[in-house]
């Protein structure tokens, strides 16, 4: 695929921005994993103590946090693909110069 050469500084800025967004998304995934573990501990405790109202609330929160985590995974993979594309473009531009 022949691509139009892009200004190297603009390409570097786009790569830096994509890398920063990817890293922040990964940090959020780690935080959400911890939140899920905490909610699971609380849910198991509610099951053990037969606290049905707490179980329902915690199950809903677990569902929402898990959904948010999946969205962050999707976003991070999109940014990783963007980074790969930008790196490839940078190599192609360097080789054609």
Q: By residue range, what is the domain housing residue 30? A: 8-88
Q: Are 82 and 11 in contact (CB under 8 A)?
A: no
Question: Is 81 inside any structural domain?
Answer: yes
Question: Is 54 inside any structural domain?
Answer: yes
Buried/exposed 56-81: b ≥16 CB within 10 Å, e otherwise: eebeeebeebeeebeebeebbeebee
pLDDT in tens, 2-25: 455 568 888 999 999 999 999 999
**What is the enclosing helix (H) or strand (E) of 94?**
helix 52-96
Question: Is 33 inside any structural domain?
Answer: yes
Q: Is the pTM of this model over 0.85?
A: no
Question: Is 93 inside any structural domain?
Answer: no
Question: Is 95 inside any structural domain?
Answer: no
Question: Is 96 inside any structural domain?
Answer: no
- Tokens 């037969």 belong to 50
pLDDT in tens, 20-45: 999 999 999 999 999 999 999 999 99
Domain total in the chain:
1
Question: Is 13 inside any structural domain?
Answer: yes
Question: Is 97 inside any structural domain?
Answer: no
Q: What secondary structure does DSSP assign to 60-88, as a single string?
A: HHHHHHHHHHHHHHHHHHHHHHHHHHHHH
């Amino acid at each position: 695929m022949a691509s139009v050469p892009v200004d190297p500084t603009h390409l570097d800025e786009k790569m830096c921005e994509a890398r920063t967004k990817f890293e922040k998304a990964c940090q959020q995934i780690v935080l959400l994993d911890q939140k899920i573990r905490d909610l699971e501990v609380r849910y198991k405790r509610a099951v053990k103590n037969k606290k049905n109202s707490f179980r329902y609330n915690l199950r809903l929160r677990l569902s929402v946090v898990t959904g948010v985590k999946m969205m962050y995974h999707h976003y991070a993979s999109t940014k990783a693909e963007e980074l790969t594309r930008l790196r490839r473009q940078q190599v192609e531009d360097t080789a054609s110069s």
